[in-house]
Amino acid sequence: MSASIQPNYSLNTVDILIIGAGLAGLSAANDLKRAGKNVLVVDKGRGLGGRLAGRRIGDATFDHGAQFMTTRNPRFQDTVAEWVKAGVAEEWYSSYPGNENGHPRYRGVPTMTAIAKTMATDITILRSVRALTLSQHNHQWLTTLDNGQKVLAKSLLITAPIPQSIDLLASGNIQIPAAKQTRLDRIEYEACIAVMAVLENSSAIPAPGAIAIEDGPIAWISDNQQKGVSTTPAVTIHGSAEFSAEHFEQDHQTVGQLLIDAAQPLLNANVTEFQVHGWRYSKPSVVDPEPCMLLSEGTDLPPLALAGDAFNGPRVEGAVVSGWAAAKVLAGLV
């Protein structure tokens, strides 16, 4: 479908439009920029980093999305080493009670969002701007944004969680080849209800200030004060996938209180205030084995790719590696 361009609105023209300033979008943007491409990133969120998210409540500071990064891919190991050298990441822990020789978990300094801010340094990003619809114009992608602007791009990379990416593709009546649709249909996500609780006193959580729990309503508790994120007592509690799915549509404050009650024996401190955030697509529980998906391959579409943690592993590292893979594919097509 080819759209016409009316003379009266603001139009950006770029080589590549990236939807999403999470880790996949930012890692792709950096590689594409290094390859000499003119790149624009748009994100509907106010902050950068997508599921790398932080929040403040009074003097308390929280990482309430991703809690740490692990490194297996050699290029990602080198990248994290550079971040450590630059002071925006550090090793948080590698062993904890019951697991004495685990692999290193790195955290952002001062918070996880520092990683996204570093990656965004030289990138042109429109924040608090949602991509609404896609269409084609002269074999390029014409994207309508909710700030009234349109972007004409030779190539498009979508890094939203897959159900949201599929909605965007549907807005442009973009036919997904059947084999790729089957792969996308297999991808599944877990929900996560995250509670950010301010404590009266320091928590009783043992060093290193993080507990992963196998059973029950809680999957994870971390002590942002011990972690070095917060100067005052503050914990993040993540509901388990089962608990979060069961309670996702209920009143979040009520559900948050249930998690606080369940966490109380570990906290051993009164909660003075709390907020709740629901992550509908927190982590993929079933991922695609390929690092990204070139949807336009073998079609008449202008270059169009999908990337994100659904393609390379349900974690920070997977999202970054997927962004790099998509950048490599798209750089060769524009």
Ligand X SMILES: Cc1cc2nc3c(=O)[nH]c(=O)nc-3n(C[C@H](O)[C@H](O)[C@H](O)COP(=O)(O)OP(=O)(O)OC[C@H]3O[C@@H](n4cnc5c(N)ncnc54)[C@H](O)[C@@H]3O)c2cc1C
For the CA atoms of 284, 250, 242, 95, the dihedral, rounded to the nearest 10 degrees, stands at: 70
Residue whose CB is less far from ligand X, 192 or 293? 192
Find the shortest distance in angstroms from Cβ 133 to ligand X: 10
Tokens standing for residue 37: 């491409």
Which residues does 164 contact at the CB level (< 8 Å), separation at least 6?
Answer: 281
Residue whose CB is less far from ligand X, 203 or 282? 282
Tokens standing for residue 296: 């336009």
Q: Which residue carries 């301010």 as its tokens? A: 198
Find the shortest distance in angstroms from Cβ 7 to ligand X: 25
Find the shortest distance in angstroms from Cβ 65 to ligand X: 4
Residue whose CB is less far from ligand X, 176 or 194? 194
Residue whose CB is less far from ligand X, 44 or 183? 44
Find the shortest distance in angstroms from Cβ 284 to ligand X: 8
Find the shortest distance in angstroms from Cβ 221 to ligand X: 12
Residue whose CB is less far from ligand X, 7 or 47? 47
Cis peptide before 7 (omega within 30 of 0): no
Q: How many CA atoms lie within 13 A of 25 on its CB side?
A: 33
**C-alpha distances in angstroms, 254 versus 16, 29, 249, 281, 318?**
43, 40, 11, 21, 33
Binding residues for ligand X, per CB under 6 A?
19-25, 42-45, 50-52, 65-69, 130-131, 159-161, 164, 168, 192, 194, 238, 279, 282-283, 308-309, 314-316, 318-319
